[in-house]
Amino acid sequence: GESVGLHLPTLSVQEGDNSIINCAYSNSASDYFIWYKQESGKGPQFIIDIRSNMDKRQGQRVTVLLNKTVKHLSLQIAATQPGDSAVYFCAERAGANSKLTFGKGITLSVRP
Amino acid sequence: GAGVSQSPSNKVTEKGKDVELRCDPISGHTALYWYRQSLGQGLEFLIYFQGNSAPDKSGLPSDRFSAERTGGSVSTLTIQRTQQEDSAVYLCASSNPGTGIPLAKNIQYFGAGTRLSVL
């Protein structure tokens, strides 16, 4: 069946380094993707999104890259900070009226 | 309020009891979603409302689970005869998907969740 998944369950990075969180998706009909951040005890928080007609989008310290050829999505965080420690989820949507399908999540741990 | 509000924030109940979880979405958001998140796991989709109707109930795990939405706003998720495996955080999200617009965004905004513990 169709699924959205993440390659690694945990990622540990040094404070100040760049982080790259990867996500694979299998639904070729997906047209919209979102990255969420979830801190302990809180609901997921929107970080950045990208439509399928783009391959890159930048926000504040974050960049999302989309490679439709290999069905791969990544989130890059520049100059990772302790406050970036959280679980990150990718989500995809197949069509304007479809629900989001979430990946399993990856934990980002920032070492001081 | 400005964000999605869920109540209660924590609920402890005994096995076999019924519970009701409430979600107040962001004002004006037409779509409302319920998810379940077990400890250290991802988000499990339960049900989706567009207005007061639920076009997708595919995620409800059993007939003990039901949800309703009234006035296109507040939603209640009811779990009857709770079991220990129902223990989880129940998250609600709302969005304004712009139905019919092909490239419309569907950013879902989440509440903080209700942590349900069934003893």
Alpha-carbon distances, residue B49 vs A4, B39, B74 (angstroms):
22, 25, 11
In this structure, what token pair is assigned to residue A83? 């406050």
B106 and A89: CB-CB below 8 Å? no
CB pairs under 8 A between A and B: 62
Indicate if the pLDDT at residue B33 is higher than 50. yes
Instruction: Report the residue of B10, B35, B41, B43 to disrupt the A interface, i.e. the one with the largest count of A CBs within 10 Å.
Output: B43
Q: Is the peptide bond before A44 cis (omega within 30 degrees of 0)?
A: no
- Of B32, B31, B117, nearest to B79 by C-alpha is B117
Residues 38-57 of A with CB under 8 A from B: 41-46, 49, 51, 53
Distance between CA atoms of residues B53 and B92, nearest Å: 16
Residues of chain B neighbouring A51 (CB-CB closer than 8 A): 103, 105
Q: Tens digits of per-residue pLDDT, B87-115? A: 999 999 998 876 555 555 678 899 999 99
In this structure, what token pair is assigned to residue A57? 């989008």
Cβ–Cβ contact A60 with B under 8 A: no
Q: Looking at residues A11-35, what average pLDDT do you find?
A: 93
- Of B58, B70, B1, nearest to B32 by C-alpha is B70
Q: Looking at residues B6-20, what average pLDDT do you find?
A: 97
- The C-alpha of A37 sits at a distance from chain B's nearest C-alpha, in angstroms, of 11
* Predicted local distance difference test score (pLDDT) of residue A24: 92
Q: Which residue has the higher pLDDT, A101 or A35?
A: A35
Q: Which residue has the higher pLDDT, A28 or B90?
A: B90
Radius of gyration of chain B (CA): 14
Residues of chain A neighbouring B43 (CB-CB closer than 8 A): 44, 89, 102
**Cβ-based burial of B70 (10 A; exposed 0-12, middle 13-18, buried ≥19):** exposed
Q: Kindly report the average pLDDT of chain A as a whole number.
A: 89
- Please name the residue of chain B whose CA is at the shortest distance from the CA of residue A99: B48
Q: Tens digits of per-residue pLDDT, B49-92? A: 988 888 788 899 999 999 999 888 999 999 999 999 999 999 99
- The full DSSP string for B17-35 is --EEEEEE--TT--EEEEE
- Contact yes or no for B54/B76 (Cβ under 8 A): no
A89 and B43: CB-CB below 8 Å? yes
B93 and A43: CB-CB below 8 Å? yes
Among A4-18, B39-53, B105-119, the range with the most confident prediction by mean pLDDT is B105-119
Distance between CA atoms of residues B74 and A109, nearest Å: 36
- The full DSSP string for A33-100 is EEEEEE-TTS--EEEEEEETT-SEEE-SSEEEEEETTTTEEEEEESS--GGG-EEEEEEEESSTTSPE
